[in-house]
Structure 1
């Protein structure tokens, strides 16, 4: 009976109400040990649960599955929930930086495209300063503009479905790149219907990437 009670504390605890047990001293000591074990196990379970919640709340989207976060719950049981909340350091604000040192560049994946190939347009933002910079790289700031001489061929803003902000901290010398395939179509402001398409046959086009008030140098490509 003693071994069965050690392997299943709950069954023994409920059974002790209805049956006559062994000696009083042995039964009381075993019962106290079982209660102590259950109490410790419950505290550990609660502490692990709080640690997992804190880690899950710290990440959003794809970062929720980050392997970096998997190691953090191990430190959670060492501190009470109130200590965790009070001891969490407030993130230091990103130092102000010289926005004039943030540059925008435009590029295409090829210099010339065949009749069945669509250009891939790339907008690249680089922090050329000596300290981190916060930059809004959301669709509210971006524009992919294609022209041919004085002819405005395409703008990503003409038929843009959403306009959202996305502020990111870019480290010194680091870059953020956003790619967009262009289906070789024309657009008009307000997304008015237009059936005309850009010419081919070796015609040259200019791609300019814009981010807020910043514009990139021109990137030239050819459509065959």
Structure 2
């Protein structure tokens, strides 16, 4: 059951990167592709004219709340931003992405532990723009190789870190009641 939920969650997270997101007020609208694929996602973009520097990619983590009541599942957020001056082509697929929850030195959860079908999803991110993925963590422990874990997280303080390829976010602290 946990494997199936994580596989579906991985596909859902990858799909989130392809969704339109609200633009800041006053921002110029993006041009609409004349031919969209049957899935509703934009047609593939041509490769960026130049390549950006790896240091122009910033990955951050967040949660949708600082604390969660008993039975309330945390929304974990990964955001990748292009801080440079040229377009960056970035793999935002489930193979490159990871959500990691720890408590002290104890590794509680990783979105990679039970991922079955991961993939690459290339996106071109314009300077100053970002892409965001959200993952609902159902308060379950996981272990590498998807081995069974009998204990679930208890009330306390937890730390979220996200990764996208070689880029790692700063730590974000949240509480479970």
* TM-score bucket of the superposed structures, by smaller chain: 0.7 to 0.9
Q: Which has the larger radius of gyration?
A: 1
Q: CA deviation at 1:195?
A: 1.4
Partner residue of 2:162?
Answer: 209
**Higher-RCO chain (CA-CA 8 Å, sequence separation at least 6):** 2
1:198 aligned to which of 128, 153, 161: 153
Q: CA deviation at 1:94?
A: 3.0
Alignment deviations for residues 149-187 of structure 1 (CA, whole Å, 9 cap, x no partner): 110000000001211000100010000000000000000
Partner residue of 1:219?
Answer: 172
Cα distance 1:156–1:115, how it changes in 2: closer, same or farther (>3 A)?
same
2:109 and 2:92 map into 1 onto residues whose CA distance is: 20
Alignment deviations for residues 98-150 of structure 1 (CA, whole Å, 9 cap, x no partner): 11111000000000000010000000000000111100000010000000111
Question: Which ranges of structure 2 fall in alignment gaps of 5 or more residues?
Answer: 1-33
1:62 aligned to which of 37, 40, 47: 40
Any runs of at least 4 consecutive aligned residues in structure 1 with deviations exceeding 4 A, and if so which? none
2:94 and 2:103 map into 1 onto residues whose CA distance is: 24
> What does 1:1-224 correspond to in 2, within 5 Å?
58-60=35-37, 61-63=39-41, 93-200=48-155, 203-224=156-177
Question: Which ranges of structure 1 fall in alignment gaps of 5 or more residues?
Answer: 1-54, 67-90
Contact 2:48-2:124 at 8 Å conserved across structures: no
1:175 and 1:112 map into 2 onto residues whose CA distance is: 25
**Per the alignment, in what secondary structure is the counterpart of residue 145 of structure 2?**
helix
Q: Which structure has the highest strand share of the two?
A: 2
Contact 1:102-1:129 at 8 Å conserved across structures: yes
Q: Which structure has the highest helix share of the two?
A: 1
**Per the alignment, in what secondary structure is the counterpart of residue 62 of structure 1?**
coil
Q: CA deviation at 1:92?
A: 6.7
